[in-house]
A and B are shown apart, each in its own frame.
Chain A
Amino acid sequence: MCRRSEGSVNLARIPTEFRISNPVLFESERSGDGLTLRLRGGWCIDNLREIESSLAQLNEQGRHVRLDFSGIETLDLSGAWLLRNWLERAKHAGVRFEVVGERPAHFAFLDELLEQKAAKPGEPQPAATSLRDAVVWIGRGAVQQGVQTRDAIGFFGRIAATMVRSMRSAHHLRLPSVVRHIYETGIQAIPIVSLIAFLISVIVAYLGAQQLQTFGAEIFTVDLVAISVLREMGVLLTSIIVAGRSGSAFAAEIGVMRLNDEVDALQSMGVDFYEVLVVPRLIGLVVALPLLTIIADAMGLAGGALLSSLLLDIQLSQFIPRVQDALAPTTFWAGLIKAPVFAMLIALVGTYRGMQVRDSSRELGRLTTLAVVQSIFLVIFADAIFAVVFVELDF
């Protein structure tokens, strides 16, 4: 800002003190045993770098220095502070100063400031060895892990207890809130879930058809699409989308409420925030996700049917009986039964992470991200367990 500014009409109107750009901030002159330092130019924060380098150069000067401040064009508090600190240090090192002319007014302000609040010596840091650090780090991590696990168990326990109470009476169920969450997590997600289910099944059908055609078995494309969509793809993709959409929303909404002390406000009114904030989201998602899964299944089959008729010449009248033949009675349910479980995982992780938000907006971002990542991981992990169990049960 202090740079030279030729040619700029607008900058020319900036008051002069604002434009001083003099990288040379001092002149020194040796006379006999002493040294005269004439400070000049702009000792202001705009020239911070120059001030630093000038002071660094001045370090190698003589033992007796005459200081002349009169050449300084602008001095602001930052400049004065750095200069004063340097003077103090030099005095300690045994340099004698003699001030010629007037001492800048800012120095008086700084003197007063320093007098008022005598400098507290900084607390000495305990000398830490790397071994000690490592032990401390591990210990702290272990304790934090323990506390977090306890908190998580407490959280889920509270929710279970609140759920039981909610189920007993209509007042505790907070029906309007549940409906809102069904709308937000379910109805509003229909377009994106439909689109993705449709596209994924088109991709599966397309790639499958190409492979199967080499064996002349393209009719099995229908089986491939029907089974993969109904058993796995429909519910898994829907859950992942919902985890990204609603899991993050849960964490962020509750997190912001925590930052604004809204959660404390609820508690102070004697309103159970589990009942108001957590359980409606949980119930809403448990209702919405299976319904979304059904829509995703339907759209997936539609995508398969469309591709079959376009690419494989399998018309709808052929497609539907083929699907019926391919599916065991349990296939549809094997997919759908997973949806409420995934919904619970997503809702619990999202709300739990939201509740953990404390103090800062960075925490909010971190925990929202964590909520999404963990819920997607848990959904896929649970899906793997389901797969093994279903195979063992021959479901």
Chain B
Amino acid sequence: MSARQPTPIISVRNLVNRFGKQVVHDGVNLDVMPGEVLGIVGGSGTGKSVLLRTMLGLQRPASGQILIEDRDITRMSDAELLSVKRRYGVTFQHGALFSSLTVAENIQLPIREYFDASPQALESLTELRLRMVGLPVDAGGKLPSQLSGGMVKRAALARALALDPALLFLDEPTAGLDPISAAGFDELVTYLHRGLKLTIVMITHDLDTLLATCSRVAVLVDRKIVVDTLDGIMKNPHPWIQEYFHGPRARAAQAAV
């Protein structure tokens, strides 16, 4: 570990993923630095979700390494992987809240799973998570089916924050939200990032979110990844990237910013 150069919190090296004959990733390299917000974009079917699942250790790649805090999760035993999983929080595209549990129980589930906490402490910590994501405290007693789309996303984020992770993965955090809720969520992500010095990796299709929150952008094209700052990536000559950032919808989003 060199003293000056900050070590990446996640480092993906020469990642190859394939399903049968279809190669999804062919030598993907990506470094996520501590404290940054990295957006991952790409067309449908370019393997954004596969990349996320691989980084989460939910899926073993065909070859390549995923280093999280310098430890290769692709060669880990399940017990070791658990200790890494404990360090990050994830929100899934559709929230993935457990539908038979209340919001509060959803948030408490990981805490109960790992620690032996008293009911008072659980309640207090749940209140904190709910406040952090801007949900009213009485939302804790509700079932996921009683929440609006925006609230589901916030509740999912509250659950992802349950164990005080240093690293947060967000899969399409603003998909399916109205622009006002989406903007509110962007604000929330920025707020938490600023306040808690979280490292955030998010998959998003939403250009507004990308422009509002991300410091760097990774684009999945041609089974590889191109990473650059927002300004840098916009100047990238690749036709898909040009289309993405300079298409009619992109211009509207940028004009708004």
Contacts and interface: CB of A to CB of B under 8 A. Distances in A.
Interface of A: 1, 10-11, 13-15, 18, 44-46, 48-49, 51-52, 76-78, 81-82, 85, 109, 112-114, 117, 119-120, 122-123, 358-363
Contacts of B69: 14-15
23 contacts: A1-B114, A10-B76, A13-B71, A15-B69, A44-B164, A45-B111, A45-B115, A46-B115, A48-B116, A52-B118, A52-B121, A77-B132, A77-B164, A78-B125, A81-B124, A113-B195, A119-B137, A120-B138, A122-B137, A123-B138, A360-B99, A361-B100, A363-B100
B53 interface: no
A81 B125 contact: yes
Contacts of A359: 99, 143, 145
B189 to A, nearest CB: 15
B137 A77 contact: no
Contacts of B120: 52
Nearest to A80: B128
Given A52-B118, A113-B132, A82 B124 contact: yes
B124 A48 contact: no
Given A49-B117, A81-B125, A120 B137 contact: yes
B176 to A, nearest CB: 13
A360 B106 CA distance: 14
A81 B164 CA distance: 12
Interface of B: 69-71, 76, 80, 83, 86-87, 99-100, 111, 114-118, 120-121, 124-125, 128, 131-132, 134, 136-138, 143-145, 163-164, 195-196
Contacts of B196: 77, 109
Nearest to B114: A1
Cβ-closest 9 pairs across A and B: A362-B100, A359-B145, A360-B99, A76-B164, A109-B195, A48-B115, A81-B128, A48-B117, A360-B100
Given A10-B71, A48-B121, 17 more contacts: A14-B83, A15-B69, A45-B164, A46-B115, A48-B111, A48-B117, A49-B116, A51-B121, A76-B164, A77-B128, A77-B132, A109-B196, A114-B131, A358-B145, A359-B143, A361-B100, A362-B99
Contacts of A77: 128, 132, 164, 196
Interface of A is mostly: helix
A120 B136 contact: yes
B111 to A, nearest CB: 7
Contacts of B111: 45, 48
A15 B145 CA distance: 39
- Residue with the highest number of chain A CB atoms closer than 10 Å, among B80, B134, B163, B164: B164
A10 B71 CA distance: 9
Nearest to B82: A1
B141 to A, nearest CB: 11
Nearest to B135: A117
Contacts of B163: 45
B164 A113 contact: no
